[in-house]
Every structure is written in C-alpha cells, then in structure tokens.
Structure 1
Amino acid sequence: MTRGAFHDGGRLHPRHVRDHQFATVGFGRRGLDPREVRRFLHRVALDLSTLHHDLALLSEENARVKRALRARQGAWSESQRR
C-alpha cells in the first residue's frame, strides 16, 4: 500500500490507485488531508490525460497502417490480374 510519493517515479499504475492510502488530518480534525487528496487526483488526471492522448495517437497510426495495407493489397491484387 502506497502513501505519499510514488517510489518508481514513472506513470501511475492501477495498483497505485487501488492501494493508495491518504494521511489523516491533524489533531482536532477528522478525515483525510485535502491537499494530499487533491495532489493524488491531479496525478491521476494527468496520467489519464496522457493515456487518452497516447491512445488517440495509436488509433490514428493504426488507421494509417490499415489504409496503407489495403492500398498495397489492392495494388498487388490488380497486378496479379494482368
């Protein structure tokens, strides 16, 4: 279970979210430290944003490769007919 900083320094992994424990607030107050919760949520949002961006780039690349493959297959098929 993690608490505070991330030890690996890399991207957030599902286990970080699943196992994260927030510090409780100081004497006389109840609940979690709001600053720590905001920092964690900010980190999750940044990693999700990066993943969504990467997914969009990969989807575009996949579509480009599929178009190129279809074009090449069409050209090959046309050359076989002659």
Structure 2
Amino acid sequence: MRNVLSLFRRAPRRQPHRPPNAGWYRSESCRPLTAGQIREQQFHQVRRGLDPVEVHAFLHRVAAELANARRDLALTTEENVRIKRALRSWQSRFTPGARR
C-alpha cells in the first residue's frame, strides 16, 4: 500500500522549456507579431476576467515598444551596412600593391 501511495506523492518531472520547433523553423502561421496585431488583439470576456482597460493599455505599451525596437533594428542594420561598405572601400584603397 505504501508503494502505491508513494507514486502519487512524487511530483512529475518537468521537461525543460524549449521554443516551438526547437527554434529552427518558423511556419507561415508563426510569423513575428506586428505592433498592429498587438494593438488589435481581442480577448474573450469572462465573468471574473481582467480589466479590459488595463489589458488594452498594456497591449498598446507593448506594441509601442515593439515598434521602437524594430525601428532601432532597422536603423542599426542600415548603419552596419554603411560601415561595412566604408571598410571595404578603405581596405581596397590601402591594400599593399593596389593601384590607385
């Protein structure tokens, strides 16, 4: 009897958290969220649910931060491309044996 009861006392082993598909594949239905999708997200209303005003305020805040992060990423990517071009140009001008 003790053996049977001890089976119920043990906590189940938890699997380590992994991203869906181990992070290597993204299907069409799993595209990155846009700021508009976050702002327009609707939730079902339940009897004892969350305050809709607070939820929408939070969604707008998250959407604004996502839009800012994407804008910063685009600016950084453009700057990175510009710097790489300048470096290649400089290297080609100052490489020993290069003609001017």
For CA contacts below 8 A with separation 6 or more, give which structure has more relative contact order: 2
C-alpha separation in 1, matches of 2:68 and 2:74: 10
1:64 pairs, out of 70, 82, 100, with: 82
Give TM-score, length-normalised by structure 1. Answer: 0.60
Q: How does 1:38-57 map to 2 (within 5 A)?
A: 38-57=56-75
Match status 1:32 vs 2:50 = yes
Identity of aligned residues (%): 58
Q: Which runs of 4+ in 1 moved over 4 A?
A: none
Give TM-score, length-normalised by structure 2. Answer: 0.50
C-alpha separation in 2, matches of 1:47 and 1:31: 25
In the comparison of the two structures, how many residue pairs are matched? 52
| Aligned alpha-carbon RMSD (Å) | 1.1
C-alpha separation in 1, matches of 2:79 and 2:48: 50
C-alpha separation in 2, matches of 1:31 and 1:60: 44
